[in-house]
Amino acid sequence: MTAAAGHWTARWIGRPWVPGTGDCWSLARAVWAAEFGRVVPPVPVDPSSWRAGARAIAAALPDWLPADPPAEGDGVLMAQGRHPCHIGLWVAPAPGQPGRVLHSIERAGAICTPVDRLGLLGYRVVNCLRHRDWVVP
């Protein structure tokens, strides 16, 4: 799914997946900083290994709380199988549409996927998360 030309996601969709600069956590960090003014530390990990991703994400989560309902830009923690191994950003739904997730995957780069279609990519949403220091207006 593409974003409307004026929506903030349009600036990110299509950016290539590159370990350390365009993988899921790196994309999320860049978007949080540029679009929401939120600084999130890097998570050093081999993004081509889901096991390493799962360990790194688990280590990064103590400062994150469940966000229900999620707000624009909240983190979306996803899993393949049992283990959370992927992160994206919540994109609020347009009227009559499901919410979407901006995320970066290896073969496609940055994409915006309707939450009800994440399963087609092998992902399921584990939780929506908000850093404890973020205040939702």
**pLDDT per residue as tens digits for the range 37-56:** 998 888 776 766 777 767 77
- Domain assignment present for residue 13? The answer is yes
The domain containing residue 83 runs over which residues? Answer: 9-131
Q: pLDDT confidence of 1, banded at 50, 70, 90? A: very low
Q: Assign residue 50 the CATH number of its domain.
A: 3.90.1720.10
Query: Which residues does 50 contact at the CB level (< 8 Å), separation at least 6?
Result: 80, 83, 85
- Domain assignment present for residue 42? The answer is yes
pLDDT in tens, 5-18: 689 999 999 999 98
Does 92 score more than 90 pLDDT? yes
Structural domains in the chain (count): 1
- Domain assignment present for residue 137? The answer is no
